[in-house]
Amino acid sequence: MDWQPRATLGLLRARAALLDRIRRFFASRNILEVETPLLCHSGITDPAIEPLMVERGRSLRRPRYLQTSPEYAMKRLLACYGEPIFQLARAFRDGEAGGRHNPEFTLLEWYRPGFDHHALMAEVAELVRHCLGDRPVHSYRYRQLFREVLALDPFTASTTELEALARASLDPGSMTGDRDLWLDLLMSHLIEPQLAGRGMCFVYDYPASQAALARITEVDGVPVGHRFELYVDGMELANGYLELLDTTEQRQRFESDNARRREVGLPERALDEHLLAALDHGMPSCSGVALGVDRLLMLATGVEDIREVLAFDWDRA
């Protein structure tokens, strides 16, 4: 009976309690809750993330994009007011629906002026403990994990070496791609499972090619993106950055994204000129993070399938 909700009443109550717990956490730190639009003029340029679009409507002179994250609009607020902010937002991504993904989901996103990514990692750990109880915390450089688990340096290994290791250990079939594709496969299939029994695991200092909207500096002789990801009990839960503030570099990254989109046959996306104008106006030095609330609820309740914590999953929506 697809008209009925997937989640039990107990899980709906657990979600309500979790949202209340999250809001109390931020209220205790005087971090302002905000709301930003779900439908915007621009979508994301990242070739790995596809937005959903709304193309019809009396007020629509051109298509609008359901946001894959509230990040861009929240940064516009930061540029104007410079205050710490958070948002519990619906987000939309055109992709798989399954055990850990739903095209419509709930994101918790927050920004901390004056924090670097290490300070924000510490606050993320505090939030997770506030919601899930005590867990051990470990931090690993991305490079360190590859060396320890795979005996390979992800910054100096050639694309050929990365592909060879992936094919020797996995079954990618006829898959082809650049070095980031092979790094992602190695990370997700060989390294992530090693984190499952370690509690909270922060991985930071990613390759510069995976920096997205993070700042890049040189560490131990190689450029790294000051980005982190959090895994809890082996589940990827959060992604954070020491935020890029340079308008010129951000525009170049957007244009590079579109160049990659053309190469793989994807449509180009218009640049978010509102965000670029906000960066040009000046945004405070800050770090930001996005955390999957549905996955946090899975961890809190012991549920292993995301569809079980959603009132109506993608097939029933």
**DSSP sequence for 213-234:** TB-EEEETTEEEEEEEEEEETT
β-pair partners for 231: 201, 236
- pLDDT per position as a tens digit, 294-317: 999 999 999 999 999 999 999 999
pLDDT of residue 1: 74
Burial of 49 (0-12, 13-18, 19+ CB in 10 A): middle
* Secondary structure of residue 40 in the 3-state scheme: strand
End-to-end CA distance of the chain: 13
**Residues of the chain predicted below pLDDT 70:** none
- Whole-angstrom CA distances from 267 to 45, 46, 47, 61, 67 are 10, 11, 9, 20, 17
**Structure-token match 């005590």, residue found:** 134
pLDDT of residue 174: 84
**CA-CA distance, 276 to 279, in Å (whole number)?**
5
- pLDDT per position as a tens digit, 180-232: 999 999 999 999 999 998 999 999 999 999 998 999 999 999 999 999 999 99
- Cβ-contact 103, 52 below 8 angstroms: yes
pLDDT of residue 57: 76
**pTM given for the model:** 0.94
Residues 6+ apart with CB under 8 A from 136: 198, 199, 200
